Amino acid sequence: MMEAIPGELEGLNAVLGDIGHLAVAVSGGVDSLTLAQAAHRRLGADAEMIHAVSPAVPVEATARTRTLAEREGWALRLVDAGEFDDPNYLANPVNRCFFCKSALYGSLSRLTDRAVVSGANTDDLGDYRPGMEAASNNGVRHPFIEAGIDKRGVRAIGRVLGLGSLADLPASPCLSSRIETGITVTSEALEFVHAVESRVAAWLAERGGFPGAVRCRIRREGAAVELDTASLELLSQEQARGLHEEVDQMAASRGYVSPVPFEPYRMGSAFLKDAAS
């Protein structure tokens, strides 16, 4: 089992100590949960955790955040960031994340006078991340980045801080990331995405699979499910016919074309950078 490099945790603690009175924006993923745990251990009552509840946030993310907060004694607040009130966000342009994070960080700055911090790590610096621009506009700090910590380091620190299996959570961006750029974001579409992903993941787990990425994409031509290679092999077997039929029925009942294709996972395949915004 990989352990945290002492210097990484020490560096993170130094950054947290420098910031002091802070509020962690907790999405429920491994990065923000690890940061929240580190901030709580380092700062105690000077660290507050704020989790935004939204149609784009899986209920599992909210549940694990609440469970960990209760177990560890975090000061946790649940809020509605209000991104679904912004027509720019709902239009799902190429920079949708900018509007999402602007709503989030704007809401947090109105709720607290503490410095707001995020769980972004150095691996996030190489991609197109309009949410980082929103963070900059709102004075948000990124302790992992300031301490030079990447995703590997985040997971290692999470293990040392007692997160257990949560340290190995697969990456799972918000549900809106499943909707192809330019297609309007609706709560109904996100409910469908979550229902399909949950059903497919449960089916795989029941048969001994270890689902990696499970993504239900909404494209202009209809819905599709993307999976890792091992999961696709399981779902190519005759025993999977019932699941395929179930997913097809779920799609048809919501007006999507069926049958729903099952395809290899492609990171960010719904993100069309060249699409008109």
> Per-residue pLDDT tens for 135-169?
999 999 999 999 999 999 999 999 999 999 999 99
Confidence tier at 271 by pLDDT (50, 70, 90): confident
pLDDT at 277 over 50: no
pLDDT at 2: 47
Residue-wise pLDDT tens digits, 63-108: 999 999 999 999 999 999 899 999 999 999 999 999 999 999 999 9
Residue 189 CA to residue 55 CA, distance in Å, equals: 10
Confidence tier at 211 by pLDDT (50, 70, 90): low
Domain boundaries, the chain: 6-168, 175-264
Percentage of residues of the chain with pLDDT beyond 90: 84
pLDDT at 173: 87
pLDDT at 213: 85
If DSSP codes are grouped into helix, strand and coil, which group holds residue 263?
Answer: strand
Could you give the residue ranges of the DSSP H alpha helices within 207-270?
229-235, 241-253
Residue from 161, 157, 149, 162 nearest 120 by CA: 149
Which is more confidently placed, 272 or 221?
221
Confidence tier at 127 by pLDDT (50, 70, 90): confident
| Residue 189 neighbours by CB under 8 Å, 6+ apart | 179, 183, 218
If DSSP codes are grouped into helix, strand and coil, which group holds residue 77?
Answer: strand
Angle, helices 30-43 vs 6-19, to 10°: value is 70
Residue-wise pLDDT tens digits, 17-74: 999 999 999 999 999 999 999 999 999 999 999 999 999 999 999 999 999 999 999 9
Residue-wise pLDDT tens digits, 213-239: 899 999 999 999 999 998 999 898 898
Q: Give how far Cα 112 sits from Cα of 1, 74, 108, 235, Å.
A: 38, 16, 6, 48
Confidence tier at 265 by pLDDT (50, 70, 90): very high
Residue 34 CA to residue 20 CA, distance in Å, equals: 17
Contact 117/19 with Cβ under 8 angstroms? yes
Residue 246 CA to residue 199 CA, distance in Å, equals: 9
Q: Please state which CATH number belongs to domain 6-168.
A: 3.40.50.620
Does domain 175-264 correspond to CATH entry 1.10.10? no
On the question of a common fold for 6-168 and 175-264, the answer reads no
pLDDT at 198 over 70: yes
Residue 240 CA to residue 238 CA, distance in Å, equals: 5
